[in-house]
Amino acid sequence: MLTAAHWVYLTVVVLVIVGMALRRGVIPLCIIGTVVMGWVYSHNFITGLKVLFNATIASATTLLGIILIIGIMISLLRLLESIGADQLFLRPVQNLFRGPASAFWGTGLVKGIIAAFVWPTPSTTKGL
pTM for this structure?
0.57
pLDDT tens per residue across all 128 residues of the chain: 889 999 999 999 999 999 999 998 999 999 999 999 999 999 999 999 999 999 999 988 888 888 899 899 899 888 988 998 878 877 887 777 788 888 888 878 878 887 777 766 555 555 54
Residues 6+ apart with CB under 8 A from 38: 47, 48, 49, 50, 51, 52
Residues 6+ apart with CB under 8 A from 7: none
Pair 122, 69: CB distance under 8 Å: yes
CA distances, 124 to each of 11, 18, 58, 110 (Å): 38, 35, 25, 17
d(CA 17, CA 66): 24
Pair 33, 12: CB distance under 8 Å: yes
Pair 20, 26: CB distance under 8 Å: yes
pLDDT for residue 126: 54
Largest CA distance in the chain: 68
pLDDT for residue 123: 54
d(CA 20, CA 50): 26
